[in-house]
Amino acid sequence: METLQWTLLVGLLGMVAYVLRSRLKASYAKGVAPRVEADWEGEAVVLQGDVLEVTVKVRQEGAVNIWLEGPKGVLVEVHKGELTSGVHAWSVARPGRSGAWLAKLSCQGHRTERRFHV
């Protein structure tokens, strides 16, 4: 029984050492995570009657693309181009198709999406 306990202890210490080594190795990896220049503000997309309110917060001026992707490949472009820093909002007419939609945002080195239903 004592041999089994020592075996389990050595195995546990080996696993801890392996995890610590892999985390240290990952933290010293070359490169830096890309800076997030723009991201969603609040709920991102809010349905108010027959209008969708799309809100984005831009931290650094640059190119930002925002579009809505609906069922069966329906695309609605909200914005494409340069934006200054600050909070920006757009009003988009409620899409004709109901169901699950995706709001997608892309900027330099960053892409994100939010799901919503119409």
Pick the more confident residue, 36 or 86. 86
Domain spans of the chain?
Answer: 1-31, 38-117
Tokens of 91: 């009003």
- Mean pLDDT of the 52-78 span: 90
> 24: pLDDT confidence band, cut at 50, 70 and 90?
confident
Q: List 111's β-bridge partners, or say none.
A: 106
Q: Report pLDDT for 29.
A: 64
Residue 35 pLDDT greater than 90, yes or no: no
Q: List 69's β-bridge partners, or say none.
A: 75, 102
> 31: pLDDT confidence band, cut at 50, 70 and 90?
low
> 15: pLDDT confidence band, cut at 50, 70 and 90?
very high
CB-count burial class (<10 Å; 0-12, 13-18, 19+) for 92: middle
The CATH architecture that domain 38-117 belongs to is Sandwich (2.60)
Taking residue 45's Cβ as centre, other Cβ atoms within 10 Å add up to 22
